[in-house]
Homo-oligomer: A and B are copies of this chain.
Amino acid sequence: MEYKRIRIGMVGGGDGAFIGAVHRISTRIDDGFELVAGALSSDPDRALASALRIGISEERSYSSFIEMAKQEKLREDGIQAVIIVTPNHMHYPVAKAFLEQGIHVICDKPVTKDLDEALALKALVMQSGAFFALTHNYTGYPLVRHAKHLVDSGVLGNLRVIQAEYAQDWLTEEAESTDNKQAKWRTDPEKSGLAGCLGDIGTHAFNLACFISGKKVQQVSADLTAFVDGRRVDDNVHTMLRFEGGIKGMLWSSQVAPGNENGLKIRVYGDKAGLEWSQESPNELWLSVLGEPTQRITRAGPGAGEEANRLSRVPAGHPEGYLEGFANLYLDIAAAIHAIEEGSEVSSVQGVIPSINDGVEGMKFINAVLSSSAHNSAWRPLEAAASNDSSLGD
């Protein structure tokens, strides 16, 4: 493989932000990208200071993402792709600005603030022909890919039950009234959308369940709660799921569960076998074939499979973690962008990169959950969730 780094820019991710730094590290791990431009903050001074600190030249530090999209388009060495790591409400306008310039977009989740925006963005992506990736990073873990492979190849038999959960504890108290920036915007419906915990992490669990199972959720029944006084969005999500093919599931997501740091966990059961994976121990996958002892499959260890091995940098027993999982997504994104720019096919492997369609699914899920919860947990189909207004009305 020839050495050719993809030129990228970043919108959002100035000093004090969390996820921007995560994306930057992830792009560096396999050296497939070069960060050359940014609109890191809407405050010009903060934008520039942040830019200089991470090696972006003053010339290519922008205080307006619209200006950035235009200027970069004009440069011969302009960015090939932009990474969007702003609060949710800015995903749509930023993505729009760059897609309109034909610049590829890599966008943090959830895709937009609401479903209408997501559908509009999908239309834009279709028109632009540019590549759009949504960083549901947990799908990048090697053993998540292997879990998907086990399901796809029939090891579990016909699926029956999927139990997904994502629990944290950092919003147990009223952090939004402190100077915690993360807490502030994530609990502000103007910035995060109507879903709180549901949008922030519930969508990850939803995406993971669909990714591994390869199945769509058809209906949800949900009971949302905001436990902390004065909180304007949900901080605990209880849902029952009905997938296509008669599969039943549950999804629990919470940010008020003391002792849970980043407890994303999934269990999938078929009529032949079950599997279990937990994000906090990402280098092991538990496979239980009916009538056999449970196996502990390790990343890059015996039985881990081709895809998990492809995405491993170090041997089994040398833990890879969150950043490497994220970097795997960028590895595939880089290959996809190279393929597109060279006019070749995006391979099936790259086909698993979360796309605008996954983003739309996530927003439909959010809408259906909000609607169900607003209607005393009545089952709501995801497909009907096509318009924000009707489903959330009363």
Tell me the A residues contacting B by CB distance below 8 Å. 1-3, 5, 18, 21-22, 24-25, 28-31, 52-55, 160-161, 163, 165, 168-170, 172-173, 221, 223, 225, 227, 236, 238, 240, 242, 246, 248-250, 252, 254, 256-263, 267, 269-276, 279-283, 286-298, 301-303, 313-324, 376-379
Whether the Cβ atoms of A22 and B296 lie closer than 8 Å is no
The count of identical subunits is: 4
* Given A257-B274, A321-B321, also A236-B3 (CB < 8 A): no
A140 to B5 alpha-carbon distance, docked (Å)? 29
Q: Known: A53-B3, A261-B316, A379-B376. Contact between A269 and B296, CB under 8 A?
A: no
A318: chain B residues within 8 A (beta carbon): 261-262, 321-322
- For the complex formed, measure the closest distance between the CB of A255 and the CB atoms of chain B, giving whole angstroms: 11
Taking a contact as CB atoms under 8 Å apart, the answer to whether B248 and A225 are in contact is yes
| Residue from B53, B259, B317, B378 within 8 A of A280 (CB atoms) | B317
A219 and B246 CA atoms in complex are apart in Å by 25
Bound-complex Cα distance A385 to B248 (A): 25
Residue in contact with A238 in the complex, picked from B240, B275, B280, CB distance below 8 Å: B240
Contact A270–B258 (Cβ < 8 Å): yes
Interface centre among A281, A291, A293, A377, by most B CB within 10 Å?
Answer: A293
Give Cα distance in the complex from A320 to B322, angstroms. 6
14 new A-B contacts, CB < 8 A, other than A257-B274, A259-B287, A293-B298, are: A2-B52, A5-B55, A29-B29, A223-B242, A238-B250, A256-B271, A257-B269, A259-B294, A280-B319, A282-B319, A294-B295, A314-B322, A319-B321, A320-B322
The 5 closest A-B pairs by CB, nearest first: A259-B288, A261-B317, A262-B317, A319-B321, A258-B274
Chain B residues contacting A52 (CB-CB under 8 Å) are 2-3
Contact between B377 and A240 (Cβ–Cβ < 8 Å)? yes
Residues of B within 8 A of A172 (CB): 271, 290
Docked complex Cα distance between A31 and B287 (Å) = 38
Residues A236 and B257 in contact, CB atoms below 8 Å apart: no
